[in-house]
Amino acid sequence: MGRHSTSTDTHVLARIHQNGPGWVFTPSAFHDLGSRTAIALALLRHKRAGTIRPLGRGLYDYPRRDPQLGLLSPSTDAVVAALKGRDSIRIQPTGAYAANLLGLSTQVPMKLVFLTDGPSRLVRLGQQVIQLRRTTPRNMATAGRISGLVIQGLRHLGQSQVGETTFSLLNQRLTDKDKAQLREDVSFAPAWMVPMLRRLAQTSSSP
């Protein structure tokens, strides 16, 4: 191994340790430390040494270890953050996962589906699967905002299952700032959701 390769290995390892266990990353996280080839070789060596773990094509983590359970799975948020940073894409939780994040469902799905303006792909984390599903610009217009999460959560429940209980849960969960965002984004919601979203936006969350 040449001196330059050794230096790149050392700098890559230092950044991995700096971010700490649980960090999920792609090779682009080290773009300033060397050439693409040098970074790829450094990651390969650290993978073979067991320091880092491959999660998917071009996706790794510095795994957390539990004394009893051994290696732990990375968090969904960490994986999504790494994908967003690498591909410069937007990602919006949808389906049962969106409903669960809002407290509208207690179901924690094994397959987490996200809408994206980037390429569709699957990432498998043990038994859990993260699916990125490419969608239309309209569906991504509210990505990353509470309004996008509410629209996708309600869409998962379906019009026949959305009533006063759902309104009450959302009214308790959403802040006045969240409701102001709903007011701005109501035009992106399906027509059947609009009355509830407008009603939520007009209801103060203050005690």
What values do phi and psi take at 157, rounded to 5?
Answer: -65, -40
155 and 93 both lie in a single domain: yes
181 and 105 both lie in a single domain: yes
Q: Tell me, yes or no, whether 76 lies in a domain.
A: no
What pLDDT is attached to residue 161? Answer: 93
Count of domains forming the chain? 2
Alpha-carbon distance 71 to 22, whole Å? 10
51 and 116 both lie in a single domain: no
67 and 112 both lie in a single domain: no
What pLDDT is attached to residue 204? Answer: 76
Contact assessment for residue 39 and residue 31, using Cβ atoms and an 8 Å cutoff: yes
What pLDDT is attached to residue 125? Answer: 79
pTM: 0.77
Query: Can you read off the two tokens belonging to residue 195?
Result: 């009355």
Burial of 58 (0-12, 13-18, 19+ CB in 10 A): middle
Q: Tell me, yes or no, whether 83 lies in a domain.
A: no
- Domain extent, residue 155, equals 89-201
* One pLDDT digit (tens) per residue for the chain, 207 residues: 444 556 899 999 999 999 999 999 999 999 999 999 999 999 999 999 999 999 888 899 999 988 888 888 888 888 888 888 766 789 999 999 999 999 998 888 888 999 999 888 888 877 788 899 999 999 899 998 999 999 999 999 999 999 999 999 999 999 999 999 999 999 999 999 999 999 999 987 655
Q: Tell me, yes or no, whether 78 lies in a domain.
A: no
